[in-house]
Amino acid sequence: MLRIFLLSLIGLAFNFQILAQCCAAGNPSSDGGSLGLPKNSLSLSASFIHSYSDTYFIGNQVSDENYWKSSKFDFSLVAINYGLTEKIQISTEIGYFIDKMNHNLVAISDTIINKKASGLGDATIGIQYHLFSNKQQMLNIAPMVKLTLPVGQFDQMDGNIVLPIDIQPSSGSYKLNTSLLITKGFFGSKFSASSFLSAEFSQEINTDRTNHKYGNLYTASFNVNHKTSDKLSTGLGLNYQHRKKAINSGNIIEASGGTYIRVQPKISYYLKNNYSINTAINIPIYRYVNDYQLTNKYNFVFGINKSFDLKSMKSQVDYNILEALNEQTLFVDGICGMCKDRIETIAYKVKNIKWAEWDLESKSLLLKYEKEFDLNKLARKLSKAGHDNAILKAEDQAYNNLHSCCKYRSINNH
Amino acid sequence: MKSILFSFAILALASFSSCEKEDTSSNVQTEFPVIDSLVANTIRVQAGGEEPAILNCYATGGDLDYVWEVDLGDLFTTNGSGSEVQYTASACCLGEREITCTVSNNKGDVSESIVITIN
């Protein structure tokens, strides 16, 4: 049931985008995110990103000059999201470079010179607040604050050479990222649009070796998603990214920073047991770099996600004890995972109810209790929340306040 | 069965003995390392990599390890001991870049720096 709920949310807000840059230290910049998980839900995801760069630009024109022949990386990211409350989601992620390489210094023709590194990149911790939600209009606004921690080794070596900043797996810098995610559903959440705005500010690195500050990064993206079927979601994203110039030892690095506009087709497929797989490709359609720089040609993202309902898991642990309790069932109308979550949450708030499980097929709410509980009170609470039940029918106003995907009467009438 | 076990025992013994690292350092007389000079064939390099600067670190002390570092641009070693490197950079790194060589052995380490201008 959770899967259906998550599917509807992710379908609304899915924004799986990691923008891979060449020649920059630390994790590729991520752009987007999903809307808040239900309370007590946990989402684990693992992603693989391959990025390739082979063309030098000067301004927005391809340059004939060459320094490195190409640059590439293979990167993996593990992320955990947890619904702390109905409005607050916390998240953490950690990145690992399987391989990061600048390939073949062109001017040195008698031998192929590569620079390569691998290892831990950066970690992040973030908090997202579900600031505004209008269920009828399917409009959601969620700001997020994320802190990047440079957990990986910043002075990694290749042989007896300490690698330069641009190829280090870790950025070596703390970063603060503030963002805003706006999502809007259309046609009963069949289509959704989302917009993501973010600004990232880096702390100045001040070590014996370097005094360096990455340019601030500003991102704006717009995505359209289509819930093609119950299991398949397809989408297209357009992303604008602008990075300011970096500063090294008090001097502006002229050949740093620039502007990219990328398109991103993407597909998500939902499997059994709350698994989903996601894939996307980022292709630049406009590149402008300050001075002369190697630019990203494409990057490819593949990820797998698994969601858990921790409340249910906790209940399973107590299953033997629950067997001995008294049982009662109540017919409660509803249609989806979100209904299930709401109905069970309401039931748990009624005194003496130890266990509540609503079944989508039979619309039956199974209740387990040790001491008598107030069934009429439960029925009133359910009807106030918009759910018709065997004792009380919900007022129209309460029903109309339900989320669009919870409108069970329109389905029942067909 | 006994012969199989015996063979495994011999193989295991051989593997252990082959994994032992030969200690050659004890045969080398070492002193605290001293960098006599850190020199470059040029202090100005054109961005683009065509004519890298060649840097040499002349040091004494015995059984020396050389570590080179620079925050921007590319260093690569050109001899077996690591005492000689080449340095070049793309347009990313215009300006003065400080290259540091650290020489170490079991008595300690010492560092020296040189500035190369990329233009």
Q: Helices A337-348 and A2-13 sit at what angle, rounded to 10 degrees? A: 120
Distance from C-alpha of B48 to C-alpha of A56, rounded to nearest angstrom: 12
Q: Is B76 on the interface with A (CB under 8 A)?
A: yes
Distance from C-alpha of B69 to C-alpha of B83, rounded to nearest angstrom: 13
Using alpha carbons, select from A351, A356, A275, A274 the residue that is nearest to residue A315. Answer: A356
Q: Which residues of A touch B (CB under 8 A)?
A: 23, 65, 67-68, 102, 105-108, 113, 115, 155, 157, 159-162, 164-166, 209-210, 212, 248, 251, 253-256, 291-294
Each residue's pLDDT, cut to its tens digit, for chain A (414 residues) gives 444 444 444 443 444 455 555 557 788 876 656 666 777 888 899 999 999 999 999 999 999 888 999 999 999 999 999 988 878 999 999 999 999 999 988 888 778 888 899 999 999 999 999 888 776 677 889 999 999 999 998 888 888 999 988 889 999 999 999 999 998 888 766 788 889 999 999 999 998 878 899 999 999 999 998 888 878 889 999 999 999 999 988 889 888 999 999 999 999 898 877 788 999 999 999 999 998 899 999 999 999 988 887 765 544 445 556 666 788 899 999 988 888 889 988 998 888 888 888 988 899 999 988 788 999 999 999 999 999 999 999 999 899 888 877 888 876 654
Q: What count of residues does chain A have?
A: 414
Output b/e per residue, A14-43; b: 16+ Cβ within 10 A: bbbbbbbbbbbbbbbbbbbbbbbbbbbbeb
Using alpha carbons, select from B103, B119, B89 the residue that is nearest to residue B56. Answer: B103
Tell if the CB–CB gap between A255 and B92 is shorter than 8 Å: yes
Distance from C-alpha of B101 to C-alpha of B118, rounded to nearest angstrom: 18
Q: What is the pLDDT of residue A111?
A: 83
Render A242-262 in DSSP notation, one character per residue: EEPPPEETTEE-SS--EEEEE
DSSP character at residue A406: G
Distance from C-alpha of A2 to C-alpha of A360, rounded to nearest angstrom: 11
Residue with tokens 């919870």: A406
CB A366 within 8 A of CB A315: no
Torsion sign over Cα A29, A34, A36, A40: negative
Strand (E) positions, chain B? 34-40, 44-45, 53-60, 65-69, 74-77, 84-88, 95-105, 108-118
Q: Is B36 on the interface with A (CB under 8 A)?
A: no
Q: Which tens digits make up the pLDDT trace of B54-68?
A: 999 999 999 999 999
This model of the complex carries an ipTM of 0.74
Name the token pair of B88: 């070049």
CB A77 within 8 A of CB A18: yes
Q: What are phi and psi of B103, to 5 degrees?
A: -110, 135
CA distance B22 to chain A (A): 21
CA distance B29 to chain A (A): 23
Helix (H) or strand (E) holding A396: helix A396-400
Q: What is the pLDDT of residue B94?
A: 87
Q: Which residue of A has its CA nearest to B113?
A: A209
Q: Is B62 on the interface with A (CB under 8 A)?
A: no
CA distance B7 to chain A (A): 39
- Residues in chain B where the model's pLDDT stays below 50: 1, 6, 11, 13-25
